[in-house]
Chain A
Amino acid sequence: MTVRINGKEFEVSPGTSVAAALLNIGYSGFRRSETGESRGPVCGMGICLECRVQIGGVRHVRACMVTCQDHMEIETDA
């Protein structure tokens, strides 16, 4: 299946979390803090809230808690 990350298509294996997909591609910064610092996943289990990305137009979605779906639209630093 494919997902679109920041407008570019990537092939991912079914069952991959959005966080894993981003890390596999090479993203370490998933979002920006209020003061512009880069942030990425810490806990990987939905607690730290550091891995938030925009999925399907909805902001602040925890990348580690969502499984990739075909044609999913993912934006980092949104």
Chain B
Amino acid sequence: MTEVFDGIVVGGGIVGCACAYYLSERFPKVLLIEKGPVGGGSTAAGMGHVVVMDDSRAQFALTQYSQQLWNELFPQLEPSCEPRSTGTLWVAADEEEFSHVDGKRKLYESNGLRAEVLDTKAIREAEPHLREGLPGGLLIPGDSVIYPMTAAAWLLDQARLRGAKLLQGRAVVKMGQGKTTLDDGTTLDAHFVVNATGDRAQTLTPGLPITPRKGHLIITDRYPGYVRHQLVELGYLKSAHEMSNESVAFNAQPRATGQILLGSSRQFVGWDPGIDRNLIAKMVARATEYLPGIGSLSVIRTWVGFRATTPNSLPLIGSLQHDPATLVAAGHEGLGITTSLATGKLIADIASGVESKIDRNPFAVSVEVKS
């Protein structure tokens, strides 16, 4: 009498929704369980930058593959998902940073992506509110922006049209060996289960090396055209790798509404949800070094979110060695909106026992099982 699902996905953030999206193409009985709103949590807190990142070869492959998948979906997405081809403009703060720009261009071009070096004049033509005298930057025109919450909900809607089910409002307290136990004591059976609970994944799969890394974001009122591309300082990865307790890097995104989304901060402070006013001030000061007029714009809201950080900055995508029916799709740090789709594909490939378009080994899951 008990229904046995092909696969149960735990977590309705964008990664879980992408898993449901691609699993439902191959399996008729997929269930996604989400205790809160779909596309909440870190998904709702994120910027929604679809970006190819050159942090490591594996990260480049995963982000590039994901971006191709997003590009395939863009024509189908609802307008509320706000897909926009803004490109990314990596901004050099000084000549030292600018000296690395051409190497970065070659890397993107050798992987078949467009990349254009902008000099001091061209960068101001591209972004008139950038300060005078910046040496230049690198434009990656293929990058884009989406609205993560609605995109997650859209992915799940498509999965449900293909027959996937959603169980909302119930928390999962235990999962493994094909069994999923809910907070009301119900146990559900499936051939495989997917832990897509992001920065909380280590609570359901003990031993996963995931640590929450807090970030603050700021959003302004509507100033259409003030910023045209997603602007990121070239030193961004330096900040991302800074393992000290606190770092700030300039990142500004034009939203479809004309609002400007301003980042970024990184802190290891557990799940403390409070807004740190001093850190907000540091983020604005950092942004002012690039956009001197930004301080005259009205901010309407600030918030925080938690990135699911792993030791090597790569997500964990794969099955557990000691429990192959449990798959993990978590640990996406600050790139989960981009890498959600490739993650969903890889999970569907693993579940159906087929090869993937990219090497899955760098994302293999190893868990310290404590006795």
Contact = CB atoms under 8 A, between A and B. Distances in A.
B78 to A, nearest CB: 19
B300 to A, nearest CB: 8
A58 interface: yes
Interface centre among B222, B223, B298 (most CB of A within 10 A): B298
Contacts of A59: 221-223
Interface size class of chain A, counting residues whose CB lies under 8 Å from the partner chain? under 10
A52 B296 CA distance: 14
Contacts of A60: 221-223, 297-298
Contacts of A61: 298
Interface size class of chain B, counting residues whose CB lies under 8 Å from the partner chain? under 10
Contacts, number: 13
Contacts of A58: 296-297
Contacts of B222: 59-60
Interface string A26-67: 000000000000000000000000001000001111000000
Contacts of B296: 58
Nearest to B296: A58
A65 B222 CA distance: 19
A52 B220 CA distance: 14
A58 to B, nearest CB: 5
Nearest to A56: B296
Contacts of B221: 52, 59-60
Nearest to B293: A58
Contacts of B223: 59-60
Contacts of A52: 221, 298
A58 B293 CA distance: 10
Contacts of B297: 58, 60
A31 B262 CA distance: 25
Interface string B282-300: 0000000000000011100
B64 to A, nearest CB: 36
A18 to B, nearest CB: 15
Closest 10 CB pairs of A and B: A60-B221, A60-B298, A58-B296, A59-B223, A60-B222, A59-B221, A60-B297, A60-B223, A58-B297, A61-B298
13 contacts: A52-B221, A52-B298, A58-B296, A58-B297, A59-B221, A59-B222, A59-B223, A60-B221, A60-B222, A60-B223, A60-B297, A60-B298, A61-B298
Interface of B: 221-223, 296-298
Interface of A: 52, 58-61
